[in-house]
Amino acid sequence: MSDNATDTTLVWFREDLRVHDNEALVDAVEAGEEILPVYSFDPREFDTGMFDLPKTGPYRTRFVAESVADLRESLRERGGDLLVRRGEPEEIVPALAAEYDVETVFYHTFPATEEQAVESAVTDALDAEGVESRSRWGKTLYHVEDLPTSVHGIDDTFTPWRKSVERNATIRDQLSTPDTISTPDADPGEIPSPADLGVEPQETDDRGVLSFEGGEHAGTERVARYLFEEDRLREYKQTRNGLLGSGYSSKLSAWLTHGCLSPRYVFDEVKRYESERVSNESTYWLLFELMWRDFNTFQLLKYGDDFFASGGIQGKAVDWRDDREDFERWAQGETGVPFVDANMRELNETGYMSNRGRQNVASFLADWLEIDWRMGAAYFEAKLVDYDVCSNWGNWAYQAGVGNDSRNRYFNVVKQAKRYDSDGEYVRHWVPELADLGERIHEPWTLRDDAQATLDGGPDEGYPRPMIDMDAAHERLRNR
């Protein structure tokens, strides 16, 4: 706290659920004698969104609630507290600011349209009350103000953008975590259960890769385990296309998305690993993937609403199919294509899917079934524990051929299955009704007629036939 700090400041927490490297918190502590940290569960986040799909499903709801509880614990350890409320932030934040005579509100700004609309509503309401608001940037590895060009000038292709940033920009140091925080006497408020938020809770299937416990403590523990205890980073580039087990990739996405981990913290830990253990292509590759995360974020800042348009940022005219029944078969993992179904079932039962899986199921929906890619993106939005508006919509658009640098390339889902799940172990894990199939596990429709007979039932009686003629669809994709 600075010597002349006398005011009360408010920190409005959002997807920055951490005390480490948190500029809004650091600046609020610097400017205020007393700090009012606030988190509000916004009912709109638990409503339905595009295509009438829920916006937030059970896995992410649980993760956020755990992260909020963990943040409260960290603030209490420092002498403060976290006020938790339910309601629209534009109502809650100005009301608390008025009640506690707050001079300034600090918060992190986020790039997506809905988040920005909420931000504007909050700052307008504060302004009307004569309360100052100060926004900070904390989502990316590279600070938005340190990019070599303005956001509107950044390249739409990843590789030249990455190279120019690596050459011309530097990553800022992490900010130090405040030691003490003083919060005025206030009703801390209860952290709502999923049911309170209208979300039916769902246990994570124990076949999942990880239990994904929310919060900064669990996030930093995951970094320590993956890098130092299990020493997996040295082989990340070779293992990152894996499908089973916790170790094939970092699994940091959920903590990064909700701001339980600062990307600069992850960067510093990778650098420490490089100096203490090994520095190789794999250690660089994790940072390379964080650059993809940055790129998607800045692209959304650049394009705004176009990011969510059917023709994407390219404004392509594509006649997507809007077939709800076919979409449901995809969503429920009942397409009859084992690799696609295994991945969708993993998503439905755990809230997570590997990057390789995400690419394949997205291609199956957009390329093979020709269904509006935005239905898939909206479905992922509800289901993913690590849903990030920038990475999700950016990757979906890319896969659908309407995003950045898209070259209209489809995934041959059967070939991919044979390559990345060569022994069928992953499919057997999630589609147990195929457990007895041998080497044809990835294309059961090619089995002899008599064997096929046992697989002919509908979704309830056995494993379904493929929902499309795979050969004809492949022929069309090859020729497009």
Ligand X SMILES: Cc1cc2nc3c(=O)[nH]c(=O)nc-3n(C[C@H](O)[C@H](O)[C@H](O)COP(=O)(O)OP(=O)(O)OC[C@H]3O[C@@H](n4cnc5c(N)ncnc54)[C@H](O)[C@@H]3O)c2cc1C
Name which position in 20, 62, 258, 358 contacts ligand X (CB under 6 A): 358
Helices (runs of H) and strands (runs of E) counted in the chain: 19, 5
**Residue 363 lies near ligand X (rule: CB under 6 A):** no
Among 85, 251, 264, 383, contact with ligand X (rule: CB under 6 A): 251
Q: Which of 140, 249, 343, 404 binds ligand X (CB under 6 A)?
A: 249
Of 13 and 364, nearer to ligand X (C-beta) is: 364
Residue from 283, 392, 404, 416 touching ligand X (CB under 6 A): that is 392
Taking CB under 6 A as the rule, does residue 355 contact ligand X? yes
Number of residues interacting with ligand X: please give it, by CB under 6 A.
Answer: 29
Q: Which of 232, 205, 395, 430 is nearest to 240 (CA)?
A: 232
Closer of 181 and 389 to ligand X (Cβ): 389
Q: Binding of ligand X at residue 240 (CB under 6 A)?
A: yes
- State in angstroms the smallest separation of the CB of 377 from ligand X: 7
**C-alpha–C-alpha distance, residues 61 and 46, integer Å:** 8
The C-alpha atoms of residue 41 and residue 61 are separated, in whole angstroms, by 10
Question: Does 133 engage in binding with ligand X (CB under 6 A)?
Answer: no
| Backbone φ and ψ of 154, nearest 5° | -75, 150
DSSP structure string for 361-377: HHHIIIIIS-B-HHHHH
Distance CA 46, CA 75 (A): 26
Q: Is 123 in the site for ligand X (CB under 6 A)?
A: no
Q: How many CB atoms lie within 10 A of CB 196?
A: 14
Q: Which of 42, 66, 346, 386 binds ligand X (CB under 6 A)?
A: 386
Q: Helices 324-331 and 373-383, interaxial angle, to 10°?
A: 40
Among residues 22, 391, 404, 416, which is the contact residue for ligand X, using CB under 6 A? 391
**Near ligand X by CB under 6 A, which window of 54-62, 162-170, 181-189, 351-359?**
351-359
Q: Which of 56, 220, 250, 299 binds ligand X (CB under 6 A)?
A: 250
Is 162 one of the binding residues for ligand X (CB under 6 A)?
no
Is residue 100 within 8 Å of residue 8, measured between CB atoms?
yes
Residues present in the chain in total: 480
If the CB atoms of residues 384 and 431 are measured against ligand X, the closer one turns out to be 384
* β-sheet bridge partners, residue 34: 8
User: Which CB sits closer to ligand X, 22 or 359?
Assistant: 359
- Rounded least distance, CB 30 to ligand X, Å: 29
| Contacts by 342-346, CB closer than 8 A, 24 or more apart | 342/421, 342/426, 342/427, 342/429, 342/430, 342/431, 343/430, 345/430, 345/431, 346/207, 346/208, 346/430
Confirm or reject binding of residue 384 to ligand X (CB under 6 A): yes
Nearer to ligand X, 74 or 250 (CB): 250
Binding mask 285-324 for ligand X (x = CB under 6 A): -x--xx-xx--x----------------------------
The answer to the question of residue 56 lying near ligand X (CB under 6 A) is no
39: contact with ligand X by CB under 6 A: no
Q: How many CB atoms lie within 10 A of CB 54?
A: 19
Dist. CA 97–CA 89, nearest whole Å: 11
Min dist. Cβ of residue 387 to ligand X (A): 4
Q: DSSP assignment, residue 203?
A: P
| Sign of the CA dihedral with 360 first, then 366, 369, and 374 last | positive
Stretch that binds ligand X, among 338-346, 379-387, 424-432, 470-478 (CB under 6 A): 379-387
**Which residue ranges make up the site for ligand X (CB under 6 A)?**
240, 249-253, 256-257, 286, 289-290, 292-293, 296, 354-355, 358-359, 362, 380, 384, 386-388, 391-392, 395-396, 399
